[in-house]
A and B are shown apart, each in its own frame.
Chain A
Amino acid sequence: MENIKLFLQAVIILFAAPILPGIINRVKAFFGGRQGRNIFQLYFDIYKLFNKGIVYSNTTTLIFRIAAPAMAALSCIAALIMPFGGQSGLLSFSGDFILIVYLLALSRFLLIISAMDTGSPFEGMGASREAQFAVFAEPVFFMSILTLSKITGESSVHGIFSKLSPVLWVENAPVLFLIVLSLFIVMLCETSRVPFDDPDTHLELTMIHEVMVLDNSGPDLGLIFYASAIKLWILGSFVSAIIMPRHSEIFWLDSLIYISGLAIVAISAGVVESVMARVRLLRVPQFLLAAFSVAIMAFVFQSLKG
């Protein structure tokens, strides 16, 4: 039975992830007074892309050709380490979030070098920005996880998630609130959403993530869309697990809570996207440093308490 559950979890993660961008789009459409795209639009997009041919730039090398499948594979693996609701992930060990962060870093590395591989100045621009923002976002993530680990006394994602409970919220509300804030900001930055990057923009000079995949086409582009949806799922899970702490031992109920938590995260991302403009590129590091100070504040509060 346990094995079936684990298998089911993996299937749900790998197949449900593309819904999240759909939810965000629907929220944006609601705010804009439009009917909006189908919630499953990304599935159709990926399906369509998988039926197309590929155009490779003739400056590119092998790196460009393996980057997209490798990125998708790395994201999937990182997602499988994540626990599902209250259940442990397929792989769970002490310090597994470090592996998750570094698997995502490897996929970022591949994205950057494949963008540089095309020799396009626009993609170079995006690559440079992606590398720069990660420098500010990663410490925020680690700082938040440090605080979480300190509150719960655990050092694996599953351990941390399973110790989170409504009771913990009563005792540590301010700290947890600050952590949610900083993790949410990190999520928006790492998944290239407003206010850091606008997935809808169509001016190459101002884009970050979208500009790096200008030369990807067909199945490759589909895999990259898929990988970023999974990344949103992974980072959203951290926020979701804190805002909707699990409180039952029933698999189905926990899973439902977990997924509805993710839906709430996606809706909030959509709301942020609708009510906020993108910040100027030069302001992004300051924005992330603000998130860093929020994370440090959470740690200081926690230390003073204990």
Chain B
Amino acid sequence: MAIIIASSLIFLFAAFLNLSVFSKYRKVNFINSVISFFASLIGFGGALAELSYGGKFSPINNSSFLTYFRLDYVSCFFLLALYLIVVAVSIYGNDYLKKMEEKKQLNFFWMNFHILVFSMCGVLLSKNAFLFLLFWELMAFSSFFLVMTDHKKKEVQKAGLIYLCANGAGALFLIAAFSLTSDSYFNFAPAMSGSTLAFFFFLVGFGLKAGFIPLHIWLPEAHPAAPGNVSALMSGIMIKMGIYGIFRALSLLSPWQQSWGWTILLIGIISSILGVIFALAQHNIKKLLAYHSIENIGIIMIAMGLGILLNLKGFNELSMLSFCAAFLHTLNHAIFKSLLFMSAGSVMQASGIGEIDELGGLARKMPQTAFFFLIASAAISGLPFLNGFVSEFIIYYCSFKALSSDSLFTVFSVLALSITGALALACFAKAFSVMFLGSPRKIKTESVVETGKYMRAGMAILSFFSILIGILPYFSFNFLFSKFSPILTESHVWHEISRIFIFFTGTYLCAIFFFAVFMFMRRKIVSENRVDLAPTWDCGYLASSPKIQYTGSSFANPLIEFFSIINPPSASYPAIRGYFPSDNSYSSHPRAFFYETLYKPSIDKMRKMASFFSFIHGGNLRMYVLYIFLSLLALILWKI
């Protein structure tokens, strides 16, 4: 615990340094990324040690300090994910922010970055509702400033406002919920009464941070607005604080109700399927990734809902395993989503374009970035060899194992996962191939070069962990979860899943062997014959142009058409007049369905109602003093 506290204090200290010493210094960016890299490396080491030795590493015991903070398994797991992402993001930031540094001082940016990391550590460590909320708000504000880095742009301002509102609303719900579940010293305590009410307050409060549907509206706004490394940090780990919160809330509230499990499960199913359908329609790469965060939060929620329902049905081991899946998917999603945002950020920085349909052919210019994006795409689609498959497999496994006569929910979770998986595959096949493959569409690739080596190093770290967890699931799973719960580790289920994971590795090795054999065969044959290079086959039509290639929109169109009942895109069709129609244009835009149909009308209504009461705050100071006096009077009268 000491190591982790030390590393989080380094972040706090670095934030103050930015405020004072560094403000005149020129190479702020380099120094800050180095500090952040080493501090998070220390923290990562501490979390690893804590996870494997469990408690032996903490010299501070039984002191008063521990009445406010604690480091149990859950905190430790999330800290591990947090520090892993921060290691990669901070080394990435060194190159990424160089261009920005030419224009302006980055003190303020890095100060907020450090505070964000510090506050997330605080959220994960605090055991006291008051402290928790303090860190929670600190996290909200520092991330708000990070989102607003490009504050002169109109869309960034809009995104910032929406994000701020979502944070504020979430905090209000949390205050209400904590008032039901803490003792008189604000320490977390199991709820005495009204636990269902508290549960729903927690769900909304944390849900606004985690961003499941329908509380997701800030995600697709804030991520495109923020710089690439900030999106990676926010989408990778900050939204997971909402998941952490829901998990903590569940441990405070008892007994669990069937309705909670169903609520979480249904929210998860809706978020995962709708999230990926919305993502499919996006033209902007960062918006697409933001919707995929919603999808993956949905998958985590499915695993949690399954965990609760299985527990209530009496499948204790499977319930624990299902929670393991939720945790593992949290870590996995942190890894591959940060990787995706970082590689998307590299592409956007190198080309200056964020529209998928304008890119193309970048794999020739940026082969390494393309590789990292490919790894992350395959991982997020839940394909074998990579980490996404491991956690999704566990959810499938739990569902199939609990398939008794009255457990309809397992059917729902299996179907949701399979539909989501196939849709995510379509979506990332689209994103990867349109951005990196084919010939360049609108972009001029001559000037595009591979990104800097620090950026690549940051991405390489995360790719390494993605492949590691994917190929050696047995070791990673055992390492991460051997302390999870004795109910699980001593059960039959644990042994079976361990055995399955060993089989996974064996299967992958066999597949690699077969692949090598086929490659060798081909090389043997082809070396005797010729290899020719020729233009792509175009059915004899020789004036091929990059314009006739399939774009992302055309690739996704059949699916978007099919799901247009749920998410109709707004399209403007050209009017064709006369015998010889001249230049014409067609455009289609995905709509922010929930924002436009649910939030915007109600916000407009609220504005109208508010204008009724505008006479109350007319700006007259004497009136305000009167209000204070009247409310005090009312309070006194009520107490008497």
> Interface on A for B, CB 8 Å cutoff?
50-63, 66, 68-70, 72-74, 76-77, 80-81, 91, 93-96, 98-99, 101-103, 105-106, 108-109, 112-113, 116-125, 127-129, 131-132, 134-135, 137-139, 141-143, 146, 149-150, 155, 204, 214-215, 218-220, 223, 285, 299, 303, 306
B binding-site residues for A, Cβ under 8 Å: 360-361, 363-364, 367, 370, 374, 378, 381-385, 389, 393, 396-397, 400-401, 403, 405, 411, 414-415, 418-419, 421-423, 425-426, 429-430, 432-434, 437-439, 496, 499-500, 503-504, 506-507, 510-512, 514-515, 517-519, 521-522, 525-526, 529-539, 546, 548-550, 554-559, 562
Q: A128-B556, A218-B526, A223-B518 are in contact. Are A94 and B500 (CB under 8 A)?
A: yes
Which among A80, A285, A299 is the interface contact of B562 at CB below 8 angstroms?
A285
Given contacts A105-B383, A219-B526, contact A57 B535 (CB under 8 A): yes
Given contacts A63-B363, A128-B556, A142-B418, contact A58 B549 (CB under 8 A): no
CA distance A306 to B439 in the complex (A): 57
Name the residue of chain A whose CB is nearest to the CB of B539: A204
- Specify the main secondary structure of chain A where it touches its partner: helix
Residues of A within 8 A of B401 (CB): 94, 155
Question: Given the complex, which residues of A lie within 8 Å of B396, measured CB to CB?
Answer: 95, 98
Q: Chain A residue with minimal CB distance to B434? A: A116
CB atoms of B522 and A91 under 8 A apart: no
Establish whether residues A131 and B555, one from each chain, have CB atoms under 8 Å apart when the complex forms: yes
Docked-complex contact A146 and B403, CB < 8 angstroms: yes
A209 to chain B, nearest CB (A): 15
Choose among B393, B411, B517 the residue with the greatest number of A CB atoms under 10 Å from its CB.
Answer: B411
Separation of A134 and B425 alpha carbons in the complex (Å):
9
In the complex, what distance in Å separates the CA atom of A123 from the CA atom of B364?
A: 20
**Residues of A contacting B504 with CB < 8 Å?**
99
User: Hey, which chain A residues are within 8 Å of B559, CB to CB?
Assistant: 131-132, 135
B residues within 8 A CB of A62? 367
Q: Tally of A-B residue pairs with Cβ under 8 A?
A: 239
Assuming the A-B contacts A91-B507, A98-B396, are A106 and B437 also in contact, with contact meaning beta carbons closer than 8 angstroms in the complex? Answer: no
Q: Give, as a whole number of angstroms, the nearest-CB distance from A190 to chain B.
A: 12
Cβ–Cβ contact A119 & B536, under 8 A: yes
> Is A128 within 8 A of B557, CB to CB?
yes
Chain B residue numbers with a CB within 8 Å of A132 are: 426, 558-559, 562
Are B529 and A73 closer than 8 Å at their CB atoms? no
Chain A: CB-nearest residue to B388: A102
Complex CA gap A77/B511 in Å reads 6
Given known contacts A99-B504, A204-B539, A220-B522, A116 and B393 CB-to-CB distance under 8 angstroms: no
Residue pair A135, B437 in contact (C-beta under 8 Å): no
- Cβ-defined contact, A109 with B526, below 8 A: no
In this complex, the member of A117, A128, A155 whose beta carbon has the largest number of chain B beta carbons within 10 angstroms is A128
Distance between Cα atoms of A2 and B66 in the complex (Å): 60
Given the interface pairs A59-B536, A113-B433, A124-B554, the reply to whether A80 lies near B415 with Cβ below 8 Å is no
Provide the bound-state CA to CA distance between A142 and B496, in Å: 21
A63 touches B532 (CB 8 A): no
Given the complex of chains A and B, what is the CA–CA distance between A91 and B500 in angstroms?
A: 10
A contact residues around B531 at 8 Å (CB) = 53-56
Asked if A105 contacts B550 (CB within 8 A), the reply is no
Chain A nearest CB: distance from B389 CB in Å? Answer: 6
User: A106, B499: Cβ atoms under 8 Å?
Assistant: no
Q: What is the interface of chain B mostly: helix, strand, loop, or mixed?
A: helix
A56-B531, A66-B519, A93-B503 known; A51 and B425 CB under 8 Å? no
Which residues does chain B contribute within 8 Å of A117, judged by CB atoms? 433, 437-438
Question: Could you say which of A59, A68, A81, A128 contacts B554, with CB atoms under 8 Å apart?
Answer: A128
Determine the distance from Cα of A83 to Cα of B215 in the docked complex, in whole angstroms: 46
A73 lies within 8 A of B422 (CB):
no
On whether A116 and B438 interact (CB within 8 A), knowing A69-B519, A128-B556, A132-B559, the answer reads yes
Q: Which of B361, B507, B519, B532 has the most CB of A within 10 A?
A: B507
Q: Are B535 and A58 touching (Cβ within 8 A)? A: yes
26 contacts between A and B (CB under 8 A): A50-B521, A55-B533, A57-B533, A58-B535, A61-B364, A69-B515, A69-B522, A73-B517, A91-B507, A98-B396, A102-B393, A108-B425, A109-B425, A113-B433, A117-B437, A118-B537, A119-B439, A119-B546, A123-B550, A129-B558, A138-B422, A142-B415, A143-B415, A204-B539, A215-B536, A218-B526
Contact A95 B437 (CB under 8 A): no
CA of A189 to CA of B363, assembled, Å? 32
Most buried by B among A58, A141, A204, A223: A58
Which residues of chain A are within 8 angstroms of B383 by Cβ–Cβ distance? Answer: 102, 105-106, 109
Q: Contact at B438–A59, with CB atoms within 8 Å?
A: yes
* A124 CA to B536 CA, complexed, in Å: 12
Q: Nearest 7 pairs between A and B by C-beta?
A: A124-B550, A116-B433, A119-B438, A53-B529, A69-B518, A73-B514, A131-B426
Chain B: minimal CB distance from A136 (Å): 8
The residue in chain A whose Cβ has the minimal distance to the Cβ of B555 is A128
Q: Which of A135, A214, A220, A223 is within 8 Å of B422, CB to CB?
A: A135
